[in-house]
Amino acid sequence: MADGFHGPLERISPTCVRIPKSYKPGMRVDGIIYASEELLDLIREDQAPEQVANVAFLPGIQVASLAMPDIHWGYGFPIGGVAATDPEEGGVISPGGVGYDINCGVRLVRSNLQWEDVQPYQQKLVDALFRNVPTGVGRGGKYKFSAKELRRLMREGPRALIHRGLATERDIEFTEAEGCIAGAEPELVSQRALSRGSDQCGTLGSGNHFLEVQVVDEIFDQRAAQAMGLRQGMVCVMIHSGSRGLGYQVCDDALRRLRHVPEKYGIRLPDRQLACAPINSPEGREYLGAMCAAANFAWCNRQLLMWQARETFQEVLGSSWESLGMQLVYDVAHNIAKFETHTINGKQKRVWVHRKGATRAFPPGHPEVPAPYKHIGQPVIIPGDMGRASWVLVGQQGSMEQTFGTTCHGAGRVMSRTKAVRSAQGRRIDQELLQKGIVARARSWRGLAEEQPDAYKDVDLVVEVVHQAHLAKKVARMRPVGVIKG
C-alpha cells in the first residue's frame, strides 16, 4: 500500500470527517468519510482518503464524494467509495467506481438447524463443501453454458435458472433487484469475457471470496430477526463471490476503451484510473450495458453456489434442503452502479449511484424492499473476517438522507496481501482458527495467510459507526464455524 494520507480530515460529527473541496483545485464537492476516531487512525495509513478527494473531480457528482468506515485503497475509487452522478448535469460513469469484480456481493441462507444439531458433522460438512464447491483462481465448475446460454443468464439473471431446476421463485424474490438489472446488453460483452465465464458460473474464486458455515451468536433486534427467520444458535451459510473472470474481463475491456475518452469530452482528472465517460455518451452507454450484463451473471453465480451448498447439506445430513429450511434470507451487491431516485437539495433526481465496496441499505417502506421486509427495511449483510464475526443489519432512513441509501460492505483491509503473507511466515493459520473452533479449508497456505483475521479491521468497530450514523441498524451477529476459500 502507498504512504499515508496527510491532508485535512475535519471532524464534523461523531461518525463523520470531511475533506473540504478547497483541499485540491478541481474538487467539485467535499469528501465525507464515515469513521470513528479509532478507525480514523487506520484510515490515515494509506492513500484511500486521497482517492476520496480525487473522486470529487468527477463531472455531475452530487452532494459529496463519500466513503464508508471500511474504506481502503483501491483502483481509482477507494474500496468503500460511493458517488452519485446526474446524467442531466453531464454526469459520468466510471468503471473504477464499480471495480473489477462487478457485482461482488453476499448472500445469507438460514436453516432450521441449531448448532448442536450440526456440531457432530462440523468437519465432515466443511470437507464436503470444499470438495463440492469449486474454489481457486480460474477454476471452473460443473455447470457449463454455451455462449447463447450465457447471454440469457446475463439478460435475465437467476430467473433463467428456474427451468433447469436450479432456482426457485422465492430465491428470486429475496435477491436484490430480483437478480436482474434492466439495461443489460450481453451483445456488448466480449468473446474473451464469454470464454472466461463459460464454466465459472457456480464457482467461488479466490482472494477474499468465501463460503462460511456460521452460527447466529447474538440478536440485537428481535423484531427484524424474526422477520428474516433468524434466531440465536441457528446455523446459516454466508456466500461471498462475484462475476468471476467474466466480470473482470468486462471491466478490463472498458478501461482499455475509456483510456482517452475523458480528453475527448474535455474532462480533467487527477488520476487516470478514474477513466470515465458521460453517461449519455456512446462510450458510457456501452460500458453500462456490459456492466449490467456482468452484474446479472454474478447473481447467477451466487445462486448456483447456494444450490451446491444446499445439495451438500442434503448429502451430509441426509435430509432435503427444503426440510432443513435452507431458505435465502437475502442477497445484496456491493460492487455496482445503479440508476436510482434520490432526494437531493429538496428535489427528486434520477442518478447513477456508484457503490464500490459499499452496500445498498434502503429503509422500511422503500418500494424496492421485498414485501416481507417492508416493515423492517432492506437486509444488509456485512462479512467480517474468518476468525471473528459477520453481521446482519437493516437499512435506515438516515442512509437515504446522507449516503444515497448506502452503508459499509465488510471489515476493510488493514494489511496488504503481501504484508499479510509476510506476517504469517512460520504459522499455520488453519490451526490457529481450529483453536477457536473454526474448521478452515483453502487451496493453498497462501490463501489463508492473505486472508488471516489480522489482515482486517475489527468488523464490530465498522458496524458500530454505521449503526450510530443511522445508515443501518444492527440485527444479528454471526460467528464462523466452517470456512472454505480459494
Quick: pLDDT tens for 31-60.
Answer: 999 999 999 999 999 999 999 999 999 999
- For residue 136, what pLDDT is reported? 87
Mean predicted confidence (pLDDT) in 117-127: 98
Mean predicted confidence (pLDDT) in 372-376: 98
Mean predicted confidence (pLDDT) in 344-366: 97
Is residue 296, in this structure, part of any structural domain at all? yes
Helices (H), 16-59: 37-43, 48-55
Cα 52 from Cα 82, distance rounded (Å): 9
* Domain total in the chain: 1
Selected catalytic residue, list 342, 409, 467, 470: 409
- For residue 428, what pLDDT is reported? 96
Mean predicted confidence (pLDDT) in 210-232: 98
C-alpha cell at 457: 479491521
Catalytic residue check, 375: no
The domain in which residue 129 lies consists of 10-485
Is residue 3, in this structure, part of any structural domain at all? no
Is residue 118, in this structure, part of any structural domain at all? yes
Mean predicted confidence (pLDDT) in 235-257: 98
Distances in Å between the Cα of 74 and the Cα atoms of 51, 88, 262 are 8, 28, 20
pLDDT at residue 2 greater than cutoff 90: no
Cα 177 from Cα 372, distance rounded (Å): 15
pLDDT at residue 381 greater than cutoff 90: yes
- For residue 486, what pLDDT is reported? 80
- For residue 1, what pLDDT is reported? 44
Contact present, 357 and 335 (Cβ < 8 Å): yes
Mean predicted confidence (pLDDT) in 21-26: 97
Is residue 417, in this structure, part of any structural domain at all? yes
Residue corresponding to grid cell 499479510:
420
CATH code, 175: 3.90.1860.10
Percentage with pLDDT > 70 across the chain: 100
Residue corresponding to grid cell 444439531:
117
- For residue 30, what pLDDT is reported? 98
Percentage with pLDDT > 90 across the chain: 97
Cα separation of the two ends of the chain: 23
pLDDT at residue 119 greater than cutoff 50: yes
From the list 105, 139, 58, the residue with the least C-alpha distance to 331 is 105
Mean predicted confidence (pLDDT) in 106-116: 98
pTM over 0.95: yes
